Structure 1
Amino acid sequence: MTIDYSHAREMMVEQQVRPWDVLDLRVLDVLARLPREAFVAESHRALAYADTELPLGHGQKMMKPVVEGRMLQALDLQPGEEVLEIGTGSGFISACLGELAREVVSLEIQPELAARARANLDAVKLGANVRIEVADALQWQTTRHFDAVCVTAAVDTLPTLFLNWLRPGGRLFVIRGQSPVMEAVLVKADGSTESLFETDVDYLQGAAPAPQFQF
């Protein structure tokens, strides 16, 4: 059976993403254009536009399209801006960010995922303005600052380090808290926080809560 991916993409936008209050036309346009199936393992390609997380290997998953849409909308990226992505994963969000902003630096802790994401981007001729680095974001050092920071996995508590990378007026998207009820928030450089929605996603490696001892 041949899948009509362009139709599946259109249905994803109209039946999943838009009804979940993603109304930013630039974000909807990117999600309607970019071939999400090219960033999914062949064994899961039929589910590329389903309302579900998809395994990427190394214990990582691709977010649901609705969460991706809300995340991109919350960041409100402008064409001249520079973005730091924490957690490259498949490279799909890297591609979206690259379409919405001027430059993207993306950190991925797993070398194999970083290499695959780069290959995914190159295969569909996207991400010319995306640089992927193999790094642990919790240890990464840079003197650079960014207009936006996009964290594509959850943290128990937000590391101060992440906020230090923001320019004045910058903003950071992150999902924080403890499973099964986590909160997606937008944190501004001035420290103000806007609650966006509740969800439940896997933790960034090294950012999970400390195990609780059971007596």
Structure 2
Amino acid sequence: MSLDFQMMREAMVESQLRTTGVDDMRVIRAMATVPREDFVPEERRRVAYAEMAVPLGEGRRMNLPMATGRMLAELGLRDDDHVLVIGAATGYSAAICARIAKSVVALEEDAGLAARARELLAGTDTIEVVEGPLDQGWSDGAPYDAILIDGMVETIPEAVTEQLADGGRLTAAVLENGVSRLFFGRREGGAFGAASFADSLASTLPGFEQPKAFTF
């Protein structure tokens, strides 16, 4: 039986985005258009739009649609923005950002996922896929008007926030006291501040572990 992915996208928009506070119509239109099923392994296509973090291989998972949607809506992308997507994986979130912003740098540290992202995004000349440690960001493309850390981290490194332009915005899911919370931050006058705006499950990104305190 063939699957109706367009119907699945519409159901995702209605049940996972509109009902959870995703009210930016640019984000909704982009997520209703970008074929999420193309960015997951063939054997996972039937669950591409499920309310879950879809396995991509190598221990990585695609972030939940609601988490990505909420973070992008809060980020408030504009058509002249230069954006960094950290944890780009196979490129799904970068493809969404590219439908709104002027240019996108998609950072991924797993070589296999980055290769797949380049393949899938080859026809979009406003996206550059780069490889490197996620927790270091991508200084070669800085400064950025907006940074999306598309997954859950334990800490937001200063190395990343320093790559924001003055007035630049950042969203991420942060593990706080055992709870995954969505955070919005802004860099102003050389300082960065952030606060949570929602609780949400999100897929874990590697390399952002909080240093463990020494105990006797």
TM-score by length of 1: 0.91
* Partner of residue 84, structure 2: 84
Task: Name the structure 1 match of 2:132.
Answer: 135
Contact 2:104-2:126 at 8 Å conserved across structures: yes
Shift in alpha-carbon separation, 1:211–1:192, aligned structure 2, 3 A: closer
Q: Distance in 2 between matches of 1:119 and 1:197?
A: 34
Structural mapping, 1:121-132, within 5 Å: 121-122=121-122, 125=123, 127-132=124-129
Q: Deviations over 1:3-27 (max 9, x none)?
A: 1111111111011111001111111
Whether the 8 Å contact between 2:64 and 2:202 is mirrored in structure 1 is no
Distance in 2 (CA, whole Å) between partners of 1:214 and 1:163 is 30
Provide the aligned length of Structure 1 versus Structure 2.
212
| Cα separation, 2, equivalents of 1:98 and 1:39 | 15
Contact 2:81 2:103 in 1 (8 A): yes
What is the letter of the counterpart of residue 132 of structure 1? V
Deviation of the 1:210 alpha carbon = 4.0
Partner residue, 1:28? 28
User: Can you give the 5+ residue segments of structure 2 that lack an aligned partner in the other structure?
Assistant: none
Q: Which moved more, 1:175-184 or 1:5-14?
A: 175-184
1:21-100 matches, within 5 Å, as: 21-100=21-100
Structure 2 contact 105–141 (Cα < 8 Å) conserved: no
**Contact persistence 2:174–2:181 (CA under 8 A):** yes
Cα drift, residue 179 of structure 1: 7.1
Q: Is the 8 A contact 2:55 2:61 kept in 1?
A: yes
Tell whether the 8 Å contact from 2:44 to 2:54 is kept in structure 1 after alignment. yes
Unaligned regions of 5+ residues in structure 1, if any? none
Looking at both structures, which has the greater relative contact order when contacts are Cα pairs under 8 Å and sequence separation is at least 6?
2
SS of 1:68's partner is helix
